[in-house]
Amino acid sequence: MSKPFVILKAAMSVDGKIASIGGDSKLSCEEDLRRLHYLRSQVDAVMVGVGTILKDDPSLTVRLVRGRNPIRVVVDSQASTPPTAKVLDQKALTIIAVSRKAPKKRLERLKERGAKIIVAGKKQVNLKVLLNRLCQMGIKKLLVEGGSTLNWSLIKEHLVDELQVSVCPFILGGEKAKTLVGGKGFRRIAESLKLKLVRVGRVGEDIILVYRPLATKQ
């Protein structure tokens, strides 16, 4: 299977949360945000789960630095992305990846807003199939910007090639607050995804940790 080079990028608190229990997720400092926008300008596409669209309504464009907007991809089995979502503005192509269960009416509304629909998977989006399709479209570098549930699925399936984590100087607490990686979790350390630290840096108040998996299944 061919797939793009997948970079997973997230900002988390010192205690590993990517949003507070109230849903605040703007953890990065200004300099780190500019770095994120620069990264967006350097990739072919940016991908998020529909949970992030519904919570944060991000536009996923490049605004804080000069550069071109990447293609935007939303992983959204039921086509639940609201037609009014910022990600459907006309600033770049937006792909909504859905399953075969997505209601036709919703698909029509999204198409009317200019979205390209990719059907991958029966009930839930099949990420391997989706990544393969994106690769065939010429997307060689993909930046994943969360959230917690999508991060888990990609990590569990060994589809992440690089992790860029910003550790921001906050403690958010809360058992229900979303962590960097959610989902079911690995039962044992022996089954977990093992990483190699390749870079450590500091941007403003945030610590940047860059990891690569020790082995990535293709």
Ligand X SMILES: NC(=O)c1ccc[n+]([C@@H]2O[C@H](COP(=O)([O-])OP(=O)(O)OC[C@H]3O[C@@H](n4cnc5c(N)ncnc54)[C@H](OP(=O)(O)O)[C@@H]3O)[C@@H](O)[C@H]2O)c1
Footprint (CB under 6 A) of ligand X, residues 24-43:
25, 27
49 binds ligand X (CB under 6 A): yes
18 binds ligand X (CB under 6 A): yes
Query: Using an 8 Å Cβ cutoff, are 11 and 172 in contact?
Result: no
146 binds ligand X (CB under 6 A): yes
Q: How far apart are CA 181 and CA 45, in angstroms?
A: 21
Instruction: Name the segment binding ligand X (CB under 6 A); options: 85-93, 134-142, 143-151, 209-217.
Output: 143-151
Question: Position of tokens 């998020």?
Answer: 48
Query: Using an 8 Å Cβ cutoff, are 6 and 130 in contact?
Result: no
4 binds ligand X (CB under 6 A): no
Instruction: Name the segment binding ligand X (CB under 6 A); options: 59-67, 84-92, 148-156, 203-211.
Output: 148-156
Footprint (CB under 6 A) of ligand X, residues 162-201:
178, 182
Least distance to ligand X from the beta carbon of 157, Å? 8
Nearer to ligand X, 71 or 148 (CB): 148
Please select the residue that binds ligand X; options are 5, 16, 42, 55, rule is CB under 6 A: 55
